[in-house]
Amino acid sequence: MSKFFSKKYAKLTPYVPGEQPKDIQYIKLNTNESPFPLPKEVIESARAEAEKCQLYSDPTCTELIKKASEVYKVKPSQILPTNGSDEILNFAFMAFCDKDTPAVFADITYGFYSVFAELNGVPYKTIALKEDFSIDYKEYLGVNATVFIANPNAPTGLALSKAEIEEIVKSNPDNVVVIDEAYVDFGGESVVSLIDKYENLLVTHTFSKSRSMAGARLGLGFACEKLIADLNTVKYSTNPYNVNRMTMEMGRTALCRQDYFDEKCKEICAVREFVATRLRALGFSVLPSKTNFLFITSPAISGEKLYKKLKARGILVRHFEKERIRNYNRVTIGTREQMQTFLETVQAILEEEK
Ligand SMILES: *Cc1c(COP(=O)(O)O)cnc(C)c1O
């Protein structure tokens, strides 16, 4: 740390992204990316926009918002596109949390929530997941804090129902409730349709997981007009051109190809169930997932050892050092072929352990 670094950041521990090693060609099952390429027209749209890059991107994101409003059946004024959904989560911490409005989220959830809280000097408390790693929605009723819930949750893959989320939103009328639906397209129940009913609900989506655009960085926030206006105040005070030309047009054309992504999500879900069944037959405990990953543990091998042995054989999964989940690994669902290789490799590793 240099002597110039602001004191307010001295204790900040940054988020650690999943590794992206370059030494060999790994089967990457560690960052929940899509294994499928984008449709041709989406890539072409980025090329065409690259030709116009001497001009700034549209700060109002008008065409993208127009298309998103058709697809999601909400008003254009209820949408805010951002540079990945991480950006809108950070905007939410900036806009809706304070010294006297702390944040609250689960003890085991998306690692960025605590980082954004610390970055913004926001006090926060965590609520422990139940023994089975599910969220008890009752613990979030009337909490007097800005609520952040990943639904489905990561890295567990478990989801709350729309009715349970609605109870949480209803019981916290004086606080914003942020529902991070990064994985909702793989089997969760979205609450976007509730934004007209509740002035305190913000729902965030990403194009990184179900829409094959992790590297392009695009997120969408959905909320009532007033919350979106607040978030826009933050956006225009940090980076008015937060979504670049290529990404903006890719997002719009991707939304025109919902048929393609729906089919890919179905495929991921089918492969997920196949892999879960096979892993259970190998003695693993596998949480019932509503996402594009599985959270798994085996009594026959420690979480860390399995992670290391898979890596040595060219397969990357995500292992977290956190106490409660140290014996688990989070495995992204890849193509059927990749998962076949994964299963064969796991089986071989278990044989060695005998
Ligand atoms: C991946 C992920 C995000 C962030 O997605 P980006 O749009 O790539 O920034 C947000 N929340 C959760 C729970 C995620 O897993």
pLDDT, residue 292, reads 98
Residues 6+ apart with CB under 8 A from 326: 302, 303, 304, 320
What pLDDT, on a 0 to 100 scale, did the predictor assign at position 17? 86
Choose one of 180, 184, 320 to mutate for the ligand 1 pocket test, by most ligand atoms within 8 angstroms of C-beta.
180
Closest residue by Cα to atom 5, ligand 1, is 85
Kindly give, in sequence order, each residue whose CB lies less than 8 Å from that of residue 340, ignoring residues fewer than 6 positions away. none
Check residue 300 and give its pLDDT.
97
Three state DSSP letters for 81-142: EECHHHHHHHHHHHHHCECCECEEEECCCCCHHHHHHHHCCCCEEEECCCCCCCCCHHHHCC
Cα of 263 from ligand 1 centre, angstroms:
21
Report the C-alpha gap between 207 and 246 in whole angstroms.
14
Task: Spell out, as residue ranges, where the chain has pLDDT lower than 50.
Answer: none
DSSP state of 242: -
Atom of ligand 1 nearest to the CA of 86: 9
**CB of residue 216 inside a 6 A radius of ligand 1:** no
* Ligand 1 neighbour 208 (Cβ under 6 A): yes
pLDDT for 22: 82
DSSP 8-state symbol, 284:
-
Cα separation, 75 vs 133, whole angstroms? 36
Q: What is the per-residue DSSP string for 189-224?
A: ---GGGTTT-TTEEEEEESSSTTS-TTT--EEEEE-
Residue nearest to atom 12 of ligand 1 (CA): 182
Q: Give 298-352 pLDDT, tens digit per residue.
A: 999 999 999 999 999 999 999 999 999 999 999 999 999 999 999 999 999 999 9
- Please give the distance, rounded to the nearest whole angstrom, from the Cα atom of residue 52 to the centre of ligand 1: 29
Measured in angstroms, how far is the CA atom of residue 85 from the centroid of ligand 1? 6
Residues 94 and 239 sit within 8 Å (Cβ to Cβ): no
So what's the pLDDT on residue 118? Answer: 96
pLDDT at 115: 97
CA 70/CA 73 separation, integer angstroms: 5
pTM exceeds 0.85, yes or no: yes
